[in-house]
Structure 1
């Protein structure tokens, strides 16, 4: 199954030479597939889930994706699900899907850095590679395929604003690459779904909500203070603040003024989790950490993880 959600891969610009001044989410997924000759013989069924710029990704589209992917994966004749998605938030969607579905079959997200109207668009090759990965016998769980590389949902991050190879998996590195229609694996793929069924309780809670618990993301930096935290606490009557993820400096250090405000938030029942703003590495746990460690997740993924945890409370 191929599910479309829009993004740059489905974008259009007025001129072929324009790779940045385009409008995302304009080309229907079926139309896009029909324009890629390499997919003529691929056994694909297509379904349009949404048609958005992924910067605007939100709960409604996530819920629709979870419902449809879960339904398709339960069909015996479906070997895998592919999702076309915008690059800006694909890492968040991948992490969310892996957390809620833990699929034993592959769920392959793919994207593009250039619109479909570009002189040399990258979307067709990325989608062709995604089909190769979806049919690979060793594939399992949620992965992101872009620029010939296969990234795991937990590790993948967008690290460049413009290059075609805009994604990286940090210290872990990519799971595999795609070379001339063949997958070459570098390390063991995430096997989280092999021995476990869908986490139906977590999925049911997620699908029943009208909004995610409010978790905000704050960065520690030189000359930081706690004004943002105090402002969020003051607005709790409008929408309850349930959690804060702080992207600390280095190995999870947090400015003393910001630490004080976050401690005040914790005293008022707000969960605080700690990550690092560093692109690579993780917060190495030690007794001196000011707050609960986010388990090596990036700030944006830590925010989602905490929101999902708060659904259980």
Structure 2
């Protein structure tokens, strides 16, 4: 992927979300319809974009709860194409909050960009009395133009989060995102970026592989990986149903969100071992909001290496796709 930057040109790609949402009443911050305002219209509310050389493109116009493989394929392809342009400094993506952490993870895994790819969002619709979208988009511009920025990041409520660690941690607050033990990468203060630690991609050891992206873009479906949670009074029936049902997309993997440090109910564990015996890959993470599964010899299944359950599911699906 091209590294040289020969100008401060930015690309803004829209996918919908709350940042592009509308409500009937300005006081309504929850009863809105997402993905109603075009990304070009969002630009008009952000003074920071007035002096920027900017290309604007609408990729999708959806509520991010409905994010799909096809949108990811288009988005990844367009980002890759724009990053190859010598004059493009960075790509900004407007996105819904519900699945932004998953999109960020997929893009980082596939693109591993040296240039910044900045995802931003909003917790209030564009019609709110005090919408947060314009400030978040303005902050995203600051991050995109920051000299040390690299890789895929999420910018919301003045915080900059890395793609691997970011998670939506609150249903309603404007500062709805957290990066767990790792902490945010930095913050934006009055249009200036203050870094707390090195950007995630600064130490990226695996280079961008255009063949991996081409394979991802070409598939009709990702390998089927299901997410199951261990909890009190559970059993292995859900796993056994998954194994028994005929699927147009055969089951290839299971991620189990265990209790505590990756513990799994013994009945569920038995069923998962049966699944492994049938060739199903099983990975273990934790349902705890903080911390990770600390590896130890007694772990029942393959460790998900600190990823959240939803990201562990995507990581396994991508591994199955790209290792085949």
> By the TM > 0.5 criterion, same fold?
yes
In structure 2, the residue matched to 1:144 is 154
**Cα distance in structure 1, aligned partners of 2:204 and 2:267:** 46
Conserved? CA contact 1:146–1:165, under 8 Å: yes
Q: CA deviation at 1:195?
A: 6.8
Counterpart Cα distance in 2 of 1:298 and 1:198: 23
Distance 1:288 1:88, change over 3 A: same
Equivalent residue number for residue 33 of structure 1: 43
Matched residue, 1:283: 293
Matched, 1:14 2:24: yes
The answer to whether residue 151 in structure 2 is matched with residue 163 in structure 1 is no
Alignment of 1:180-219 (within 5 A): 180-191=190-201, 197-219=207-229
More displaced 10-residue stretch of structure 1: 266-275 or 200-209: 200-209
Distance 1:310 1:172 in 2: 27
Partners of 2:97 and 2:121 within 8 A in 1: yes
Shift of residue 196, structure 1, vs aligned partner: 5.6
Aligned to 1:269: 279
Which residue does 2:8 correspond to in 1?
Answer: none
Give the aligned partner of residue 83 of structure 2.
73
The one of 153, 163, 170 equivalent to 1:153 is 163
Local SS of the residue matching 1:191 = helix
Matched residues, number:
313
How far apart, CA to CA, are the structure 2 residues paired with 1:302 and 1:196?
A: 18
Q: Taking structure 2 as the reference length, what is the TM-score of the superposition?
A: 0.95
Residue 162 of structure 1 and its aligned partner are, at CA, apart by 0.1
Match of 2:238 among 212, 228, 235: 228
SS of the residue corresponding to residue 80 of structure 1 reads strand
CA-atom RMSD, angstroms?
1.1
Which position in structure 2 is the counterpart of 1:95?
A: 105
Offset of 1:37 from its aligned partner? 2.8
Distance in 2, matches of 1:95 and 1:260, equals 31
2:71 matches 1:61: yes
Residues 264-307 of structure 1: CA distance to partner in whole angstroms, max 9, x if unpaired? 11111110000000001000000100000001000000000000
TM-score, scaled to structure 1 = 0.98
